[in-house]
Amino acid sequence: MLSSSDFNKKQIVFVFLNRGEKLCFSNDNFVIKTSDGKIKFQCTCYRLFIVFAIGHGSITSGLIQKAKKHRFSIVMVTQSLRPYQIINAMMEGNTLLRKAQYSYDSIDLAKHITCNKITNQRGLLSGIRNKNQKQVEAIDMLDTYISKIPMCSNLHELMGYEGSASRVYFASFFDNVVWKGRAPRTKCDMINTLLDIGYSILFSFIEILLGCYGFDTYCGVMHRNFYMRKSLVCDIIEPFRVLIDAQIKKSINLKQFKEEDFLKKDNRFLLKWVKNPDYVSILAKPIVDNKMHIHAYIQQYYRSFMKRKPMDEYPLFKY
């Protein structure tokens, strides 16, 4: 398992690939070579935690071996910024953890995570200086949902409050643009496309951290088991989504994100390839800035889960 001091020294690297470029290694260095064999980028394998490889390129079997040896992960990402494959240097064989996961049948952790998520959403709204009436009413409604969570008797009821809270939150938070509301994976407007991109980067980062401890990422506590869904990652990401939300709103206000940077195809907003480095750099910033907080959360979650600790000893991420 990765200690906090070791993790603090590890790097998260984003590389953008053109056709014909190759991910490989040389003398314990991670290297990207252009189609004519020139070195485009390199860094030591000893400092890597994740490489996000974005675009079209190839990868050598030797690099995969080095990734396993030095325990860093490689996330393959399409040009439209959708992760499609992870070469994960995860811990294997943590059977005690997985037995505990498969036997867990309470909704207490789901309540804990949901309350943390809505509390952070409320915190974002409360931080707006000149709140309009809609935002004031939204904060009151979120307070109501938070108060009802401890009394939930089943997941269906809990997920109902979580969904209602998200609708109220999104309808009032992004007041700096015109949009219809959150619609995952549809890319029907700029905000939804940005949220999809930011959440995808965050999702992959959390998935790899969970793998470092040996979790079965398909076995969740709130998003219960569903075929091919990484339910535990869907759970753990919830309190951290506000990091992406806040960055998007800030960047729109600063005019770093603009609709002219997107192509509209079949009623979907797609980020122009030339703009990918700028947008990924901005959306990844809150994740990199908070990487130690995210690691500490998952580390404490693991220890609490393994020792069957009471809910008040499980971690909270406070935005």
Predicted pLDDT of residue 318: 95
Q: Is residue 225 pLDDT above 80, yes or no?
A: no
- Residue 91 is classified by DSSP as -
pTM: 0.94
Give the confidence band of 235 by pLDDT, cuts at 50, 70, 90.
Answer: very high
Confidence of residue 41 (pLDDT cuts 50, 70, 90): very high
| 227: pLDDT strictly greater than 80 | no
Q: Where are the domains of the chain?
A: 4-87, 95-313
Q: What is the DSSP letter of 258?
A: -
Tokens of 276: 């990918």
Cα separation values, 242 from 66, 118, 226, 250, 291, Å: 35, 10, 25, 12, 14
Q: Is the pLDDT of residue 117 over 90?
A: yes
**What dotted CATH number matches 95-313?**
1.20.120.920
Which residue has better confidence, 286 or 3?
286
* SS3 call for 59: strand
- Which value, to the nearest 10 degrees, does the dihedral of the CA atoms of residues 172, 83, 319, 1 take? 160
Report the CATH architecture of 4-87: Ribosomal Protein L15; Chain: K; domain 2 (3.100)
**Three-class secondary structure of residue 209 per DSSP:** helix
Angle between helices 276-289 and 291-306 (to 10 degrees): 50
Instruction: Give the strands of the sheet with 11-17, arranged side by side.
Output: 11-17, 48-55, 73-77, 83-87
**Assigned token pair, 46:** 């000893």
Enumerate the β-bridge partners of residue 50.
12, 73
Q: Which two tokens stand for residue 117?
A: 């998520």
